[in-house]
Structure 1
């Protein structure tokens, strides 16, 4: 169970213990444990079909688990605190004949916001996010990206304490993805808790304080992004003028055994290997004495993708990469 770091305790916006959900003979979610501190940006990371959407819907009370418990702001009946929550599903849609401010006000009304106040807030939000010129346009007259932004603003218009996005970056171009990342950071800075599911690692790595890695309906890791990355030792990235040679035989045994060559540019070679147990100073001495022809040397920390492979396995990582490539090709 994930908890905030010692000395930085925050109450939990969401917690879940042992969530299990079956659909006929399919076990979609198998014993999920999650804890999300208030004000955090929390990612649920995994390939399509891993159980992300089912988990989110159980957390929000849209569907009930077959086993396990979940609480939202301490309440084990999430629908009783629905006015504090915003949810943007992956399957999105707006009434095409509605004007932008009407669509936003309508979505706010579903969470108890008076219509007149929703329209006023909607116009303010549209102006703030560069869509003031479109306030009186019908949804059918908007580009896909503009319509998605309107739906996002409608999701947030009632000023929720908890925002849950299911694959929010899906279908957005690079510019609108960047805008959404800024919006997510602003929400967290204002104290709002943000949870989003994604199969795109770089969004989770850039934005999230903590992640739950999900594969095959299970969560083999839930916790800090930094802790996940630190499960893999840092790597030395060495660029040399020479390839194989006496200098490599002078490396410490642990580095020499694991060193791998990656294609470099003209006249250079890139080597990668774990930081030797003997340390960087000893490594530098050996490289210089061995006349390795050092062009550059850096210590590179493992990325979240490397951690995902380590935690969830290569098959899940391949599925994640395939989903990302398919989404980019759309």
Structure 2
């Protein structure tokens, strides 16, 4: 009977596992293989060069600059985005004034605010990047127009200034993703029994104390998953698309916004160095796996149930 059960389960798993191996695992293996060649991406002919691409990688200053920017993305983007999302969702679900019918309640109009926060998720990241590119325009943009109306005579050039460009891109990514986590965390908070909050308030706990002692511990698994998701996004397509569309060059000015995914694209499709691009891609893969492992390890804690 047990033998038949395992055959039945294996029959369902073999097809999805085969598709996963073909479309996910095999491209990774191919990328690692091509990183040891001199393939240009334009010709089917190539030769093995050993670790030459990796030696070049470690001595490439532009790679290290893109690596530095990607690490900055992977640290600050999850930190800022998830902190804002936790704050907004806590205020929407728990931070309202005490009412006669309930000791704990969210702010009035919470459902409308959730829709407003989530709205950027409806838009493509390409559309969001274009909209903010116009907003950051130093001459006709809405941001500088607003600053000039307030009396600022010499506002920054934003995307044209190496000091501001990277921060402008990060601000767009935070704005476009925080709403998703507001809705996600709100769903998690709505499942926490209100009795926990009411008992804490009766004992004299403040809202800040209830957040750190009740909400965050019971929501920790969701926060941890969100941190990994945000890190992968910061190292992947979202960061690439935003930098590619918004910045001059792209990746400028003066390579101040170059990130690893964009550097892979430039080497593969602009410079005809597909093998070196796959080498950067392999480095990006290990950075992503290392980040996920660190987050899962540091965030490991005893599971709380209620």
Q: Flag whether TM exceeds 0.5 (same fold).
A: no
| TM-score normalized by the length of structure 1 | 0.21
| TM-score normalized by the length of structure 2 | 0.22
Higher percent of residues as helix: 2
Which has the higher relative contact order, 1 or 2, with Cα contacts under 8 A spaced 6 or more apart? Answer: 2
Higher percent of residues as strand: 1
